[in-house]
Amino acid sequence: MARQREAWNLGGNEYASPLAESRKFKGESLWHDAWRRLRSNRAAFASLLFLGLVVGTALIAPLLPLPSPMALNLQIEPQPPCGSRLGNHGWEHRITLLFSYEKAERPADVATLRESLSTLVARTSGVRPRALPAPLDAGEIVLVLPYRAKLDPRQHRTPIDVSLQNALVKSDASGQHNVRLISATPSPGYWPLNFLDEALLRLRYRVFGFWQTESYLGTDSKGRDLLSRIVWGSRISLQVALAATLCSLLVGVTYGALSGYLGGRIDNLMMRLVDVLYSIPFIFVVIFLITILKEYRKDLEAFGIEYITVFYLVIGLIYWLTMARVVRGQVLSLRHQEFIDAARVMGASTTRILFVHLVPNVLSVVIVYLTLTIPAVMLFEAFLSFLGLGVEPPRVSWGLLALDSAEAIFPIKTFWWLVVWPAAAMGSTLLALNVLGDGLRDALDPKLRGSQLRARE
């Protein structure tokens, strides 16, 4: 016994080295290992970087010096890439002034023109207005003034071009005619934006001023810049995809996890309901619902509900069925595991078992399926917009760009850039999503992890 005790009695120097090595050893979690394997997959990691670039560009679209996606110029046909100069004021809002040129009853009316123009000082940009040429006997004069929408006039007060104002007054100096302001109609350069986008728009003016990029990808049949419409269209398409994916995540995961955990008759009844819903042609149901929503749009707006919000929800609520089945199958294989039995013995509630123990263990499958759901939702939104049932002008989505592309194909002349660039943007995004989904499936598969570890050994 003494010899054995001496054999086990190690000196300080003898166990110091193994202890130091044990301190250096760090375990690797499954998520850390999945991230490492995803980075080693070059195609999947490149797709992730590309999608990050697309999402980032869509988020900061109001900050980019792009022309307005809805500024119309009906005087020209579609211009090829780098073939059109849109000027420096195509991105901003405009105000159209309508003057009447008429015989004067009393020369004092000229002063009202100066006063009317002075009231527009806070809304104008201070640059020379663009005047539509018209002879003096035309009866009406139309002027278009650019102005910065929703900017604080107390901080951005600039005078109207003095030479133009004096010229208008001098044309009436003889007292024979008056130039009278009839109306001032604002023409927004963007659809209604949220407060964050408005803040980015103000920051864009402070950084770039009125400078904007040229038409690098060409213009469409209405003179709108194609690059700007692709960037702004990605915002709507991604918003629809993310909203539908979120609905699928909330409804499908909860429904499938509850069905798989309860089991028995409840599980059978819940899955039969899913089978019944699967038999319904949802494309026709969605078209029917959207048609009804358009009829009652004003009633919805009276309650503060926008059409585009309901459109997101309608699309999202049809993609949870497959998610429910996938999650239910995973939960069925996990509900009899030892850690679930231990949670029951400890008195954990059903809600805690579902959302603390079961759902986190099926997240890998859920994430992979979500990356495959987003492309399907984007294609469905493009299909509805192509039929005229989705996003409506002046907003723009990739589906509306596809509709414009179809209208740009003529037997005599084809405006190829209206077809190639939107198709390339949407096709590359969908391809990246599918490649990323395959990469995530390989990275999160525990069977592949074991085979790779054995291959290393």
Amino acid 47: pLDDT: 93
Q: For the chain, what's the residue count?
A: 457
- Judged against a pLDDT cut of 70, whether residue 148 lies above it is answered with no
The CA distance from 297 to 199, in Å, is 29
The CA distance from 99 to 177, in Å, is 12
Amino acid 408: pLDDT: 72
- Judged against a pLDDT cut of 80, whether residue 39 lies above it is answered with yes
Q: Which long-range contacts (CB under 8 A, 24 or more apart) does 416-424 make?
A: 417/78, 417/80, 417/81, 417/217, 417/218, 417/226, 418/78, 418/218, 418/220, 418/221, 418/226, 421/217, 421/218, 421/226, 421/227, 421/230, 422/226, 422/230, 422/233, 422/398
User: Which of 184-188, 205-209, 250-254, 290-294 tops mean pLDDT?
Assistant: 250-254
User: Which of 1-10, 18-27, 101-110, 380-389 tops mean pLDDT?
Assistant: 380-389
- Judged against a pLDDT cut of 80, whether residue 134 lies above it is answered with no
- The more confident residue out of 447 and 356 is 356
pLDDT category at 50 given cuts 50, 70, 90 is very high
- Judged against a pLDDT cut of 90, whether residue 371 lies above it is answered with no
% of residues, the chain, pLDDT over 70: 65
- Judged against a pLDDT cut of 50, whether residue 149 lies above it is answered with no
Residues of the chain with CATH 3.30.70: 93-188
pLDDT tens, residue by residue, 314-336: 777 788 888 899 899 889 888 88
The topology under which CATH files domain 226-456 is MetI-like fold (1.10.3720)
- Judged against a pLDDT cut of 50, whether residue 310 lies above it is answered with yes
- Judged against a pLDDT cut of 70, whether residue 166 lies above it is answered with no
pLDDT tens, residue by residue, 18-38: 666 666 666 566 777 778 888
Amino acid 51: pLDDT: 93
Residues of the chain with CATH 1.10.3720.10: 226-456
Q: Which CATH number fits domain 93-188: 3.20.20, 3.30.420, 3.30.70, 2.40.10?
A: 3.30.70
